[in-house]
Structure 1
Amino acid sequence: MKVHIWGLGYLVKSGSGNIDLDGNIVSYFKSLSQLADRLNVWIPLPKGSPLIRSEDFNINFYRTNRFFVIFSGLRLLFHSRGSHIFLFMPAASRIAIFVPLYKFFSKSLTVYLADDPYALADGLRLSKVPFVKSLYLLLIKQYLKLADRVIVRGKYLRGLASRHNENVEITVPITKLIDYKNRKLLGGQNSRFNIVTLGRLTWEKGYKILLDAYSEWLHKTDVCSNQYKLTIGGDGPDAEAIKKYVKELNLENSVAFPGWILSEESKMQFWQDADLHVLPTINTEGVPRSIDEAIINQVPTIASAIGGIPEEYANNEICQIKPNNTKALLKAFEKMVDFRNYNQYLENAKIRREYLLKLPSAAEQHFSIIQIHLS
């Protein structure tokens, strides 16, 4: 059985400067490769990046400009006959024009919906050009309707996909890494209260709001500089600009940038040392993996009430704030350093945590769905 995955996977830079595939995605690919006779993944390759190879699956790289993206969609079309195709959206929206042909030539077509594609419509580069946005929205409806099945991340996206497709499967993107019973609460192995965030370093993830609120909070509370720290895990196109902004705010001594957390051991330590998780996104989110990882690891979360977050965490499991609002985040910081509130959110998240601990990993969930539908 031949399987093609397009739209998932990206290169990340480790703290040592080495370029590699994201560790969680590699684990996902390896799990799925056990099902397929041949697993082919299609991954964007920024100019100047080295080629990465794997013994477990075949990697097809394509350049990230529009021409090469479309060309990769055509290449996938030539490989689609008799194959099972998985399109990870919204990234694969860029080749959605080929979906009817993929549907015709392939054995099956699966769409994985990780975020709200409708919410991203206004952010298109050519969204102001007449008919571009309308065409994009039409393509969304088309690929959701034509898919043999749609796998979604969370309740909110299930509702969205169910408008167009009857075969919708919900999954929870989690990675289980630690011995949960042995986690040291409040401080991990450090004496400093550690506020963490983890993701792709782009301004749309709300890092300016986070840094402004953190800076104002430190000055307002007049705390000792070594009492608190902010750890920003990840990498991305705005990483250097974000680091520059940290210097402008004179926060170098209390903000750390560990880079991508690639290994299981590194992520284990990351959550072990965390006291508070913050997700200040200002654009859109599906159901971020980091929130459930924080819940599993007994780390309370402050998150923007955006995308699928309000519906997924409707029982006050996390502290939700108005997006793109520095004052709201500042008030949330003040709220969470009161450990009565801190512990209340841990208590509120217990049912969700018990549910998550019973689930297999995201790859295993998808593996099960694939076995049912493709066997």
Structure 2
Amino acid sequence: MKIVQIITKLDTTGGAQTHVIALTKQLALDGHEITILTSKGALIYQPLNEKNISIIQLQHLKWAINFVADIRAFFEIRSILRRINPDVVALHSSKAGAVGRLAAFSLKLPTVFTAHGWAFTEGVKPIKRWIYQQIERAFARKTSKIITVSNYDYLLAIEKKVVKKEKMTTIHNGIQSYSNKPSFSQNKIPKIIMVARFEQPKRQDLLIEVLSSMNEQEWQLVFIGDGREMEAAKALSLQHDIAHRVTFLGSRDDIKTQLQQADLFVLLSNFEGLPISILEAMRAQLPVIASNVGGVPELIIDSKTGYVVDHDIQVIKERLIQLLENRDLRLQLGHAGFRYFEDRFSFNSMYDKTVSQYLQAHNEKKEIIDVTILDHH
């Protein structure tokens, strides 16, 4: 198949970006012809001379809502799609999902939209939630297939009457397993790691607040990721006099190694889809503490592979102390998380189900065209 993938940003490391890159590489290996459309910026992924993959950086696609730029982006994407004439257009992230779906719909091209967490989920401000709900409801009518990455998001879309059941399927995120088992970290002082961009909805500030009340415990903290809130987080760690125990590594391309050198993974956030960073931590056999939002409870078996927590500072503190002070418990939960990852969240399963949706969208559109031609004759 000839497939166009559209994603708003490919200049930051995030769940949607990781998903699109992994998917694209495997699709290309399987002989599909892939073009990625994304906004301008320094790309985290360069296809170089990889067979069957090309990237086009759009002049007008922006992350923020901008009426003039969005109209220009629509015509720019439409022009490219008309030239490529793909079998299916796959879309990721809200802005690319909206503008790209309109452009594809105007050319009668089949579309598959992957919702990496709805913009109208719990944790978003009520007025924004209502607006995004109306937008997604309108765009769902112009979409051939919709993939949600968690059961939580599937049920939310049904509850809010955004998408009809027959258009939607849940495909949990999946990542490649290690070719050999990871080795356990032997840090004298336990190392906590959080991998997330410094943007809403992530809550690095909350983790700093909790740890600032844990001066008696031995710990060190590593943040991986960049974004607009990083400087504020640095200032907060200084304010709480724990800056000497906190390391800000920025964006990294050695996350696998960094996770293997840690003892415990934490992800605090106001809302989520199905975080790939948690899957990466489970693959590295790390116990996980994460916020009770979105699809997170579908990844973590509470008290068996990690802890799902509400944003109660005392509760988060207690869970951290439990794991920091008990290496055997860390190993036990990490092992269990690794087994759960291997059983439920393999890349191959996710990939096969996703390609199946692409083929269905393409074939359904082809059937409609064939019927139209027959009726005309």
**TM-score, normalised by the number of residues in structure 1:** 0.77
Partner of 1:115: 117
Q: Is the Cα contact below 8 Å between 2:265 and 2:287 reproduced in 1? A: yes
Q: Which of residues 275, 282, 286 is equivalent to 2:273?
A: 286
Mean CA deviation greater in 66-75 or 170-179:
170-179
Q: Matches of 2:23 and 2:7 in 1, distance apart?
A: 14
Q: Matches of 1:189 and 1:335 in 2, distance apart?
A: 18
Q: Is the Cα contact below 8 Å between 2:286 and 2:331 reproduced in 1? A: no
Q: Is the Cα contact below 8 Å between 2:182 and 2:285 reproduced in 1? A: no
One-letter code aligned to 1:267: I
Partner of 1:16: none
Runs of 4+ in 1 over 6 A off after TM superposition: 21-24, 50-53
Deviation at 1:280, TM superposition (A): 0.8
Matched, 1:195 2:192: yes
One-letter code aligned to 2:36: V
Deviation at 1:253, TM superposition (A): 2.2
Q: Matches of 1:159 and 1:38 in 2, distance apart?
A: 33
Q: Is the Cα contact below 8 Å between 1:5 and 1:86 reproduced in 2? A: yes
Cα deviation, 1:216-271, whole Å, max 9, x if unaligned, reads 11x2x2x4xxx421010111122222222222223232111222232xxx222112
How many equivalent pairs are there? Answer: 344
One-letter code aligned to 2:134: L
Matched, 1:3 2:7: no
Matched, 1:153 2:149: yes
One-letter code aligned to 2:342: E
Aligned ranges for residues 225-374 of structure 1 at < 5 Å?
227-262=218-253, 266-281=254-269, 283-313=270-300, 316=303, 317-323=305-311, 325-339=312-326, 341-343=329-331, 345-346=333-334, 349=337, 352-356=340-344, 358-360=346-348, 366-367=354-355, 369-371=357-359, 373-374=361-362
Q: Quick one: percent identity of the two aligned structures?
A: 18
Partner of 2:172: 172
Cα deviation, 1:130-176, whole Å, max 9, x if unaligned, reads xxx65532221122343211122122123334552414333332333
Q: Which of residues 75, 78, 94 is equivalent to 1:90?
A: 94
Q: Is the Cα contact below 8 Å between 1:29 and 1:57 reproduced in 2? A: no
5+ unaligned residues in a row in structure 1: which ranges?
Answer: 14-20
Q: Matches of 1:169 and 1:10 in 2, distance apart?
A: 25
1:50 and 1:109, CA in 2 relative to 1: closer, same or farther beyond 3 A?
Answer: closer
1:237 and 1:182, CA in 2 relative to 1: closer, same or farther beyond 3 A?
Answer: closer
Q: Matches of 1:2 and 1:116 in 2, distance apart?
A: 27
Q: Is the Cα contact below 8 Å between 1:198 and 1:233 reproduced in 2? A: yes
5+ unaligned residues in a row in structure 2: which ranges?
Answer: 364-377
Mean CA deviation greater in 150-159 or 27-36:
27-36
1:147 and 1:25, CA in 2 relative to 1: closer, same or farther beyond 3 A?
Answer: closer
Aligned ranges for residues 5-154 of structure 1 at < 5 Å?
5-12=5-12, 25-34=20-29, 38-45=33-40, 54-55=47-48, 56-61=53-58, 62=60, 64=62, 65=64, 66=66, 67-81=68-82, 82-83=85-86, 84-92=88-96, 94-95=98-99, 99=102, 102-119=104-121, 122-123=124-125, 127=127, 134-154=130-150
Q: Matches of 1:357 and 1:150 in 2, distance apart?
A: 19
Structure 2 residue matching 1:244: 3-state secondary structure: helix
One-letter code aligned to 1:103: F
1:54 and 1:238, CA in 2 relative to 1: closer, same or farther beyond 3 A?
Answer: same
Mean CA deviation greater in 349-358 or 84-93:
349-358
Q: Matches of 1:313 and 1:200 in 2, distance apart?
A: 21
Q: Is the Cα contact below 8 Å between 1:303 and 1:320 reproduced in 2? A: yes
1:175 and 1:9, CA in 2 relative to 1: closer, same or farther beyond 3 A?
Answer: farther
Mean CA deviation greater in 335-344 or 106-115:
335-344
Deviation at 1:346, TM superposition (A): 3.7
Q: Matches of 2:117 and 2:258 in 1, distance apart?
A: 25
Q: Matches of 1:122 and 1:337 in 2, distance apart?
A: 32
Partner of 2:374: none
1:34 and 1:57, CA in 2 relative to 1: closer, same or farther beyond 3 A?
Answer: farther
Q: Matches of 1:370 and 1:273 in 2, distance apart?
A: 38
Deviation at 1:189, TM superposition (A): 5.0
Cα deviation, 1:2-27, whole Å, max 9, x if unaligned, reads 433223542149xxxxxxx9676544
Q: Is the Cα contact below 8 Å between 1:153 and 1:173 reproduced in 2? A: yes
1:234 and 1:276, CA in 2 relative to 1: closer, same or farther beyond 3 A?
Answer: same
Q: Is the Cα contact below 8 Å between 1:189 and 1:272 reproduced in 2? A: no
1:231 and 1:25, CA in 2 relative to 1: closer, same or farther beyond 3 A?
Answer: farther
Cα deviation, 1:50-91, whole Å, max 9, x if unaligned, reads 998644313223353513234212322334444322221334
Q: Matches of 2:180 and 2:280 in 1, distance apart?
A: 11
Deviation at 1:357, TM superposition (A): 6.4
Q: Matches of 1:51 and 1:181 in 2, distance apart?
A: 26
Structure 1 residue matching 2:248: 3-state secondary structure: strand
Q: Matches of 2:2 and 2:213 in 1, distance apart?
A: 54
Q: Matches of 1:276 and 1:310 in 2, distance apart?
A: 18
Deviation at 1:200, TM superposition (A): 0.8
Structure 2 residue matching 1:204: 3-state secondary structure: coil
Q: Matches of 1:109 and 1:215 in 2, distance apart?
A: 48
Deviation at 1:307, TM superposition (A): 1.7
Q: Matches of 1:351 and 1:52 in 2, distance apart?
A: 30
